Amino acid sequence: MYPIWEVPNLTAGIILALIATFHILPSHFSTSAMWFNVYVETKAYRENRPELLEFIKRYSLLLLVFSYVLGSLSGIGIWYAATVANPRGISGLIHNYVWGWATEWVFFIIEVTGIFIYYYTLGKVDKKTHLKIGWIFAIGSWTTMVIIVGILSFMLSPGKWPETGNFFDGFFNQTYWSQLLMRTTLMFGISAAYAIAVATRIKNEDVKAFITKTASKWGIAGIILGSILLLWYLKTLPARPHELISILAPKTLKTGMIVTAGLLILYFIYAGMKPLSIRLIPAILAIVVIFGGIWSTERIREMIRKPYVISQYMYSNQIIGKAIPAKAVAAEANVINEKGILKVAPFVPEGLKEVNDANALQAGKMIARIECLSCHTLNERGLRPMPQMVKRLEFKKEVEKAKEVEEIEAFLDGLGGYPYMPPFMGTPAEKMALATYLDSLAIIK
């Protein structure tokens, strides 16, 4: 256990979610934009339409600045946020998938050098060479998705990895192909929305109409195929996450996904019919709608991973829940239940290591920070706020305080029974301390 970072009202996890969701806009744009570019560029050369190159220039500049300034940095930001929000989680991933990430990094170098050279050599090298650079970027960039989806899907559905501990068994897990194909098709919808936005800035009406019409076709195909593949993806989910969708995912998120897809298809159809009528603001709004859709989908994906951060291995609160014998990794429950979480975790004040009547409240808060803070804020308001949760459970009906604490302790005993909650871990004295602290939360206001 490492020191804890507490973000008032939000939790560190939400910071991670925000950055990760934002990152999808530039990253999926990057993996798909060049396919659109090489298509248009090939057409420009074959049909001798040099005016189309104006679009190429603008579209690649957007790609360069948006994907390789904000995209690269938010990508690194995901790592940083994971580092401070859930260090043991990211460490577990890295110690399994370091070579996967290192492999992705090789393609990242190809992407970055590729986009700079593609942009700066347009019109300065012969056509065939320029197209070759485009193709290298397009394939190389998509390959980063081929790799990262393996690691991403592993977190939710680790496949045979818990038994074998094998890199590839975890990588090519049961949701790998469906997720890869779903993202691959959806990315064309994303690049189409950007292409239309860029086209609104082009004066030449023929070019504008051509780009918008082409993009609208790519967009419709991408969204429809992506939605179908999403259904396949849902089918490939393991039983527990599947069950959690119906329990946990709020209706708004589900509606958000469906409304987004519907709105986007209508938008693309309209753009295809009246390509010259699209202005910049609505085109940007379409991208905002995409963001909303992605936010809903990614939030659901995060929620259904509960109670784990790495499914079948590590709980959201960074405690190793299940042993991985193939890697000689033991579960931590027994040690924690026997010695106490405050003794096992190193970053705990000396005065709280041993729970007694005098320090119960402080010790309880420390335990809440270690075991609950990854998903619940301890503030009155915000993300799944602990005080509100405790109030909702109505322990306050009891007359005696001792009885209330006892009741909360009983509740903590049954915590593991909820499909999305990790069990409480610690000694009986620590359970009492946590219950005392939780009880105190309900009286503050």
Partner 1 sequence: MEMGTILKTLQDPMGIPFYPVVFQALMVLTFALHIMFVNFTLGTSFLSVYGYLKGGENWTRLSRSLAKATTVNISMAMLLGVAPLLFVQVVYDPFWYASNTLSAAWVMGFIFIMMLGYSLTYVFYLKRDHKTGGGFAIFGIIAFALFLLSGIIMHALGYQLLQPEKWLNWYIKGNTVDTSGTSLHAFQLPRFLHFIIPSFAMTGIFLMLYAWYFKNRADFDKGYLEWVGKTGAKMAFIFTAIQAVVGFWWLFSLPAGFSFFTNPFFLIGAALGIVLLVFLYNAQKDPVKYAVPGVLGAFLTIFGMSYAREALRMKYLGRFDYSIFNYKLNIDWGSTALFLSTFVMGLLIIGYLLAVAYKSGRTSGEYVATPSMNKWGKISIALLLCWIGIVAGLGIIISVRNYL
Which of positions 5-44 make contact with partner 1 (CB under 8 A)?
Answer: 5-6, 12, 15, 19
Tokens for 70?
A: 């904000």
201 counts as binding partner 1 under rule CB under 8 A:
no
What are the CA-CA distances from residue 302 to residues 38, 369, 441 (Å)?
35, 21, 27
In this chain, which stretch among 105-113, 193-201, 264-272, 409-417 interacts with partner 1, using CB under 8 A? 105-113
Q: How far is the CB of 270 from partner 1 (least distance, A)?
A: 32
Please answer whether residues 56 and 64 qualify as being in contact, where contact means their C-beta atoms are separated by less than 8 angstroms: no
Q: At what angle do helices 72-85 and 87-120 cross, to 10 degrees?
A: 170
Tokens for 304?
A: 């259904």
| Amino acid, single-letter form, for residue 109 | I
- The residue within the footprint of partner 1, chosen from 31, 143, 144, 153 (CB under 8 A), is 143
How many Cβ atoms sit within 10 Å of the Cβ of residue 239? Answer: 7
**Ranges within 354-413 binding partner 1 (CB under 8 A):** 359, 362, 366, 369
Tokens for 351?
A: 């005065």
For partner 1, what does the binding mask look like between residues 256 and 275, x meaning CB under 8 A? --------------------
- The residue within the footprint of partner 1, chosen from 45, 101, 232, 270 (CB under 8 A), is 101
In this chain, which stretch among 157-165, 187-195, 270-278, 386-394 interacts with partner 1, using CB under 8 A? 157-165
Which one, 71 or 219, has the nearer CB to partner 1? Answer: 71
How many residues of this chain interact with partner 1, rule: CB under 8 A? 92
**Ranges within 47-76 binding partner 1 (CB under 8 A):** 65, 68-70, 72-74, 76
Q: How far is the CB of 57 from partner 1 (least distance, A)?
A: 13
Which one, 240 or 261, has the nearer CB to partner 1? Answer: 240
CA distance 32 to 192: 9
What are the CA-CA distances from residue 232 to residues 209, 228, 268, 313, 408 (Å)?
35, 7, 24, 25, 41
> Burial code of 80-97, b = ≥16 C-beta within 10 A, e = fewer?
ebbbbbbbbbbebbeebb
In this chain, which stretch among 268-276, 282-290, 349-357, 402-410 interacts with partner 1, using CB under 8 A? 349-357
Q: How far is the CB of 156 from partner 1 (least distance, A)?
A: 16
Q: Indicate the helix (H) or strand (E) that contains 71.
A: none
181 counts as binding partner 1 under rule CB under 8 A:
no
Residue 335 burial (C-beta neighbours within 10 Å; 0-12, 13-18, 19+): middle
CA distance 325 to 211: 55
In this chain, which stretch among 48-56, 110-118, 284-292, 437-445 interacts with partner 1, using CB under 8 A? 110-118
- The residue within the footprint of partner 1, chosen from 4, 249, 284, 285 (CB under 8 A), is 4
